[in-house]
Amino acid sequence: MQPRSLVTGGAGFLGSHLCEYLLNKGHYVIAMDNLITGNIGNIEHLQGENFRFIKHDVTDYIFIAGAVDYVWHFASPASPLDYLQLPIHTLKVGAMGTHKALGLAMEKSASFLLASTSEVYGDPLQHPQEESYWGNVNPVGPRGVYDEAKRFAEAMTMAYHRYQKVNTHIVRIFNTYGPRMRPSDGRAIPTFIPQALRNEPLTIFGDGSQTRSFCYVEDLIEGIYRLMMSDYHDPVNIGNPHEMTIKEMAQMVIKLSGSQSSLVAEPLPVNDPKVRQPNTTLAKKLLNWEAKVPIEDGLKRTIDYYKKLFAE
């Protein structure tokens, strides 16, 4: 029988890449999105007999006719710009949306995967971050709407696993980049590349010494798929442990794009994490997975995507 997958947030950056991956694996794919931050253009090329799009807000009851084998819950604003502009919806999709998606998985006896985030670690006091670390989060700060929404979503997912016997999985996604990130996304790479292509100053916050670990989207989706197909239920970090400063990333974008841009500094946002690096030992051991795409190669592919986007 052909497996049937529901991907909430299916028109978003990660969701659209997941839909494409699942189609290539032979799944029938239903993408669900309310298009608040998603883009129908991300999935237009997927239209066919094995793909269906439903415009729907997952905070409302989810109805899907027929069997569903896998529920991949990716619906949520994900960039600081988005969740600071949509704080209530971010909290609702983390709580009510996760509740509705888990309810569907329980009804259909489907396997469930929650797209959680490294933001559950907050501004970490442990470095690198491993799954057993409980985090350092300000629940009432401006970033708390996203951090706590995902922490609550993890708690609800584990409750459904423990008490309703749903086959659940939790991936903690670290910084990811690649084609289909919106130029207005607000995160580092989709901000830097358009600025560089226009030869404008690249905006860094603070002195740019804060670190991130950037994983190419192709690698991330492979790890997520392996996690869903495993029999492991606790959270798993998926990301690239290669750590670099934001300033180093900006300089690399300038070099690879052939830009004449300089750097300009702005004040550091409230509760902005100073470091971010995944401990991926568990993913290597459990899933035989590790990031493979070198940062230079991934950036070149992403720069090419934006060049084509701006040429249209």
pLDDT above 90: percentage of residues in the chain:
91
What pLDDT sits at residue 312? Answer: 77
pLDDT of 11 reads: 98
CA distance 14 to 175: 11
Distances (CA, A) of 6 to 72, 118, 287: 6, 23, 22
How would residue 268 be classed by pLDDT, with cut points 50, 70 and 90?
A: confident
Average pLDDT over residues 266-273: 79
Contacts of residue 190, defined as CB under 8 A and 6 or more positions apart, other chains included, come to: 177, 181, 182, 183, 184, 306
Residue 23 has pLDDT above 90, yes or no: yes
Stretch 118-145: mean pLDDT, rounded? 95
For the chain, what percent of residues have pLDDT higher than 70?
100
Average pLDDT in the chain? 96
- Residue 173 pLDDT: 98
Segment 244-257, tens digit of pLDDT: 999 999 999 999 99
Q: Is the pLDDT of residue 277 over 90?
A: yes
Helix (H), strand (E), coil (C) string for 211-228: EEECEEHHHHHHHHHHHH
Nearest residue to 3 (alpha-carbon basis) of 71, 95, 97, 90: 71
77 token code pair: 């604003």
The full set of domains in the chain, from first to last, is 4-177+217-240+281-287 (3.40.50.720), 188-211+243-276+294-311 (3.90.25.10)
Query: How many beta carbons lie within 10 A of that of residue 149, not counting itself?
Result: 27
Helix 217-228 crosses helix 13-24 at what angle (to 10 degrees)?
60
Cross-strand bridge partners of residue 151: none
Mean pLDDT across 167-183:
97
Q: Can you give the pLDDT at residue 80?
A: 87
Q: Is the pLDDT of residue 260 over 90?
A: yes
Q: What is the pLDDT of residue 75?
A: 98
Phi, psi of 173 (to 5 degrees): -85, 125
Mean pLDDT of 118-126: 94
Per-residue pLDDT averaged across 71-95, rounded? 95
When pLDDT is cut at 50, 70 and 90, the band that residue 270 belongs to is confident
Record the pTM.
0.96
Query: Does pLDDT of 46 surpass 80?
Result: yes
Which residue carries 């609702």 as its tokens?
A: 92
CA distance 236 to 215: 15
Reported as a single tens digit per residue, the pLDDT across 216-241 is 999 999 999 999 999 999 999 999 99
Check residue 131 and give its pLDDT.
Answer: 98
CB atoms within 10 A of CB 154: 21
Q: What backbone torsions phi and psi does residue 36 show, to the nearest 5 degrees? A: -65, -45
Whole-number pLDDT of residue 274 = 86
Query: Residue range 34-43: average pLDDT?
Result: 96
DSSP string, 207-276: TS--EEE-EEHHHHHHHHHHHHTSS--SEEEES---EEEHHHHHHHHHHHHT----EEEEPPPTT--S--
Block residue for tokens 């710009």: 81
Distances (CA, A) of 253 to 20, 46, 291, 295, 302: 27, 30, 20, 10, 10
H-type alpha helices, 55-187: 80-85, 87-92, 98-108, 144-164
Record the tokens describing residue 231, joined without a space.
Answer: 């029999």
Mean pLDDT of 51-57: 98
Q: Which pLDDT score, from 0 to 100, does residue 273 have?
A: 79
pLDDT attached to residue 88? 97
- The residues carrying an active-site annotation are 146
